[in-house]
Structures are given as C-alpha cells and as structure tokens.
Amino acid sequence: MRSCQIIEWGKPLEMREYPDPEPKGSEVLVKVTACGVCHTDVHVWHGYFDLGDGEQATIASRGVELPLTMGHEVIGEVAALGPDASGVAVGDRRLVFPWIGCGECMACHAGREVDCQSPNPLGARQHGGYSDRIIVPHARYLVEYGDVPEELACTYACSGLTVYSALKKVAQLQKEDTLLVIGAGGVGLNAVNIAPAVLDAKVIVADIDPAKRQAALDGGAAQAVDNSSPDAVAEVMELSQGGARASIDFVGSPETAQFAFDSLRRGGMQVVVGLYGGKFRFSLPFLPLQHRTVRGSYVGSLEELKELMALVMDGKIPPLPVLSRPLEDANSVLEDLQQGGKIVGRVVLRP
Ligand SMILES: [Zn+2]
Ligand SMILES: [Zn+2]
C-alpha cells in the first residue's frame, strides 16, 4: 500500500510504500477510494493545538508515534475481513466512522464514544485515509451511503457530522429565532446546507471574506455579516431583532468567541466547534443574569452519522462543493488550508 505520512511534525508529508496490512480479529481492511482533507489535519500535521498564552496540547504527549497517516474522512471498498469480522462482505462500499473510542470506558459502554476518556480516532491516533488502504477496527464503524457520489459522501464523516451534531444541540430553535453561523469555510458552508433539515430558524452567516459570505448566501443563508467590521454586532442585533438565540462558531478564536458572546440574546446558547485556539474571557454574572449557555461540540456519534446519511440518501441535504485532487497533492492542499482558506468547499484526495 501507498501512504502519505507525517514523518516529522510540521514537515512535508512523504509517500511511503508498505505491504498491505492483514486484518486481525474483528478488523476490516478497506481499499480507500477518497479521503477528505479537514482543517483539523493542519493541527494534527503540526502536532499540537494552541491553548492560548503560549500553551500547547501536543499530540505526541498522547502517545502518538510517527510516522502517522492522517485523514479521517475516508470512504472505500471492503478488501478483506479479519477472522472474527462480520456484517460486511468483500466489495461492499462503505463510509468509515473515524471517531473510535477505547471500547472499555463508561462513555464507550454507554454508546458515547465521542466522550471516550482515551479515544483512538482514525487519522489522528491510528492510521487514517491519506493512503490506498486503511484498517478499520470493527465492521460496525462502516456506514452505508447508497448512491451518493463517494467524493461527496466521505465529507460527511467529519465536516458533515460535526455540523449535524452541532445543529442538533440547537435544534430547539423555532422559525422566529436566528442562528448565527460564524465561519463559512468548508464546515460552516456545510452548516448552511444542513441547517434546514434540522431546524426552522433563520440563518445569518458571519465571515471576514466576501467570497465566503457570497458562497453562504448562494447556499441559502438569509443574511451575511462581515465580522471584522466594528458594526458587526449591531448588524446582527438588528437582523435578528435583538440578538441571535444561538451561535455556532466554526472558527473558535478569541475574536469570534467574543463576537458570538456579544451577538446573543438572553437565554442564548454559544456553541464552539472550531479549533483555531486561544483564550476567551467573559464576565461570569452574564451567565446567570442572561441565562446563557456556553458549550462545545466535538464531531458526533455513530448514530448521528447514520441519521445524517439517511437524510443525505433521501435527498434532504444539498451537496457541498467538492474538489478532487490526487493523493500526491496532500502537501499543497494542507498549505492552502493553512493559509486561511483559499479553498471554498472541501478538497478530497483520491489515491
Ligand atoms: Zn475533520
Ligand atoms: Zn472509551
């Protein structure tokens, strides 16, 4: 197999050749046909997340060793089954759920692998899909995707799932409410696409890039706001008649968090999804006095991915713009993502 790997944190990925792995136990070997490139891959590639004030959370400190194959939006064809694997057959085409838990802890036993105490996600702690082969630990992580084109379907494993799960956290919003979506890159744009399938609220998008604001309007957002403008909060207040009832922040920087906090009405919920990094300070009395919720949302569950794919297969979710590139282009795609979004929509690598 050919795998495009991190050999040294932050240095260009290198293509390496290995013998095809043999699936053991319940494992399934999947021949990869497409793998989306996610902004999280930029953080994994550099090997750390920025915690603010010069602090970092490194991936190496979690016991991850190099070389590592990134890629967690993986789709492909079952190539071989381990001796104890069942539920799929060689040749079946499946989407891979990458957010795999340890299988041992309380959260895993309760079916909340996303809250696992020592998670083992594919493409971040185990080898992922920047390769032509991937080992999936169990057939239950393989999800059907019907006739959806594979380069689109793979993006639902992270970009789509992350959005779906975040939207479900604000699904109580009604028609008269406003949802503020911050950041209209690949994931934020997907939120605009998926929102009408999950909730009735009006969607206002904020982005500093006029091309992305236009893409969000074309995708169905009611209004778009430039959050680098000093009038941005006032604009949201006016468009939402007194503040958004919820915000989903796909950037997650100190600036966007502050903008979200200032743009909400009483009872509002602020959901942080993006991993840009840094610290955010707010006055504690505002939480009780304004009856606020500030929370995070991280990817989503296997059940949510199945729910989402059912909506996609039903034609309820308009497709996201997707651009296919050969696996060899992984480095230049990561560079483009790192430079703050020359990319509208999602780039998918084809081995
Ligand atoms: Zn991702
Ligand atoms: Zn666990």
What are the boundaries of each domain within the chain? Answer: 2-158+300-350, 162-296
CA of 254 to the centre of ligand 2 (A): 31
Predicted local confidence at residue 341, as pLDDT? 58
CA of 110 to the centre of ligand 2 (A): 9
CA of 46 to the centre of ligand 2 (A): 25
pTM over 0.75: yes
Same topology between domain 2-158+300-350 and domain 162-296: no
Domain 162-296: CATH class, spelled out: alpha beta
CA of 111 to the centre of ligand 2 (A): 9
Predicted local confidence at residue 51, as pLDDT? 80
In DSSP terms, which residues pair with 142 in a beta bridge? Answer: 96
For the four alpha carbons of 240, 245, 250 and 255, in that order, the dihedral sign comes to positive
Q: Which one of the ligands is nearest to 155 CA?
A: 1
Q: How far apart are CA 58 and CA 110, in angstroms?
A: 28
Q: How far apart are CA 37 and CA 69, in angstroms?
A: 12
Parallel, antiparallel or unpaired: strands 28-37 and 133-136 = antiparallel
Q: Which one of the ligands is nearest to 109 CA?
A: 2
Each of the 351 residues of the chain gets a pLDDT tens digit; together they read 999 999 999 999 999 999 999 999 999 999 999 999 998 899 999 998 878 788 888 888 888 999 999 999 999 999 999 999 999 999 999 999 999 999 999 999 988 898 999 999 999 999 999 999 999 999 999 999 999 999 999 999 999 999 999 999 999 999 999 999 999 987 898 899 899 999 999 999 999 999 999 999 998 999 999 999 999 999 999 999 999 999 999 999 999 999 999 999 999 999 999 988 899 999 999 999 999 999 999 999 999 999 999 999 999 998 888 899 999 999 999 999 888 656 666 899 999
Q: How far apart are CA 120 and CA 10, in angstroms?
A: 21
CA of 187 to the centre of ligand 1 (A): 9
Predicted local confidence at residue 246, as pLDDT? 98
Tokens for 94, please give them: 């499946």
Residue 194 near residue 202 (C-beta atoms within 8 A): no
Q: How many CB atoms lie within 10 A of CB 49?
A: 16
CA of 100 to the centre of ligand 2 (A): 8
CA of 303 to the centre of ligand 2 (A): 16
Predicted local confidence at residue 144, as pLDDT? 97
CA of 289 to the centre of ligand 2 (A): 37
Predicted local confidence at residue 345, as pLDDT? 67
CA of 108 to the centre of ligand 2 (A): 4
For the four alpha carbons of 294, 298, 300 and 301, in that order, the dihedral sign comes to negative
Domain 2-158+300-350 homologous superfamily, CATH: Medium-chain alcohol dehydrogenases, catalytic domain (3.90.180.10)
Q: How far apart are CA 234 and CA 213, in angstroms?
A: 18
